Amino acid sequence: MTSFKNRSLLNVESLSTEGIERLFSRAKSIKNQINAGQLPQPTLAGKQIVLFFTEASTRTKLSFQMAAQRLGAQCLIVDDQQRSSLSKGESLSDTFWTLHSLRPDLIIVRCGGEAPLEDWIEKSRIPVINAGFGSIAHPTQALLDAFTIEDIFGSLQDRRILIVGDVDHSRVAHSHFRLLKRLGAKITVCGPKMMTTLIPQGIDVESDLDKAMKNCDVFMGLRVQFERHRNQSFSKESYIKNYSLDEKRLQNLPKEALIMHPGPVNWGVEFQEGVENHAQFKMWDQKQNGVFVRAALMEILLGSH
Ligand code: CP
């Protein structure tokens, strides 16, 4: 697929619309097959896939692993810095190139923004997938979120997506801006001023959440990334009062609007207890779809479909 530079995925900008359509169509077939209880074809049999994760992850890492294994690939996981030679002072780059020199078929990387991921992808002789890069980009999360919305509504064209919370620190939101807009959605962000300073042109900003909610098709909560708020003062009480989704605030949401969150959720902060019982709460669908979208992506990058 020519839309993936070096058959790698650094960010969503490198994807063509046709590439995204092909990816979603394949993800949908895998989803239908698995949901029908059928075993998918082992299209990645014999492939060795390295997951190199230097930042914490549950859903991204395990959904890539689950997807790879469902399609017959084997996974090697490097995710414990204390048990790798990173703990002896080996650099991130030396670790990446060590893994590369073992000649796997694909490397999937989650790393902080200090890692030279672009350079690795540029020089790599095998496909590399960005599985979350600092606060910069998280293309596969944006893809699975777009797939989830499309799967329910049929299309993202003119859908109004409301992204709420810690936008500045969210690699997911930065990828959403690019991908969802490309697919025809209209995006509005809402959050405290200190969390919404990095909003690109073409994205609307609304400070009143109750007002913004009345005009949306998707409410996308974002995790407050406390670990990235090093020198910023933050009032949790004020955040909860103005931006937390609870049962009272849910009354502003149109009946058909989806409630989504890339996870993990800080319960009691972004969402209050009870939100998960709403008929349109789609967070678990997002997680499941992560397996199908990532399976399709790996097949395409490895030329296996
Ligand atoms: N949404 C997401 O990237 O979750 P993990 O950090 O658990 O992978």
Task: Mark whether 91 and 148 lie in a shared domain.
Answer: no
Q: What gap in Å lies between CA 48 and CA 211, rounded to an integer?
A: 50
Closest residue to atom 4 of ligand 1, CA basis:
59
Assign 167 a pLDDT band (cuts: 50, 70, 90).
very high
pLDDT of residue 111: 98
- Looking at the CA of residue 131, tell me the nearest atom of ligand 1: 3
- Residue percentage of the chain with pLDDT more than 70: 97
Mean pLDDT, to the nearest integer, of 120-143? 97
Task: Mark whether 144 and 268 lie in a shared domain.
Answer: yes
Closest residue to atom 3 of ligand 1, CA basis:
60
Mutation test residue for ligand 1: of 59, 129, 143, 287, the one with most atoms within 8 Å of CB? 59
pLDDT of residue 68: 98
Distance 5 CA to ligand 1 centre (A): 24
pLDDT of residue 268: 97
pLDDT of residue 5: 47
Whether residue 288 is predicted with pLDDT greater than 80 in this model: the reply is yes
Instruction: Look at phi and psi of residue 103 and say left if phi exceeds 0, alpha if psi is from -120 to 50, else beta.
Output: left
pLDDT of residue 226: 84
Task: Mark whether 123 and 183 lie in a shared domain.
Answer: no
> Do the domain assignments include residue 3?
no
Mean pLDDT, to the nearest integer, of 79-84? 94
Task: Mark whether 267 and 174 lie in a shared domain.
Answer: yes
Helix H or strand E encompassing 42: none
Task: Mark whether 209 and 129 lie in a shared domain.
Answer: no
Mean pLDDT, to the nearest integer, of 100-119? 97
Closest residue to atom 6 of ligand 1, CA basis:
57
Assign 2 a pLDDT band (cuts: 50, 70, 90).
very low
Distance 27 CA to ligand 1 centre (A): 19
Task: Mark whether 129 and 145 lie in a shared domain.
Answer: no
- Residue percentage of the chain with pLDDT more than 90: 92
Domain range spanning residue 181? 140-282
pLDDT of residue 4: 56
> Do the domain assignments include residue 4?
no
- Looking at the CA of residue 110, tell me the nearest atom of ligand 1: 8
The encoded tokens of residue 31 equal 């989803």
Distance 151 CA to ligand 1 centre (A): 21
> Do the domain assignments include residue 6?
no
- Looking at the CA of residue 138, tell me the nearest atom of ligand 1: 3
Instruction: Look at phi and psi of residue 145 and say left if phi exceeds 0, alpha if psi is from -120 to 50, else beta.
Output: alpha
The model's pLDDT over 4-27, given as tens digits with 9 standing for 90+, comes to: 545 999 999 989 999 999 999 999
Mean pLDDT, to the nearest integer, of 37-62? 96
Ligand 1 pocket (Cβ < 6 Å) reads 57-61, 132, 141, 262-264
Distance 55 CA to ligand 1 centre (A): 10
How far CA 129 is from CA of 48, 111, 124, 161, 294, in Å, comes to: 14, 11, 11, 26, 10
Looking up residue 190, the CATH number of its domain turns out to be: 3.40.50.1370
- Looking at the CA of residue 58, tell me the nearest atom of ligand 1: 7
> Do the domain assignments include residue 227?
yes
pLDDT of residue 52: 98
pLDDT of residue 1: 42
Domain count across the chain = 2
The model's pLDDT over 212-233, given as tens digits with 9 standing for 90+, comes to: 999 999 999 999 998 888 766 7
> pLDDT averaged over the chain?
95
Mutation test residue for ligand 1: of 53, 55, 58, the one with most atoms within 8 Å of CB? 58
Say what the pTM is.
0.96
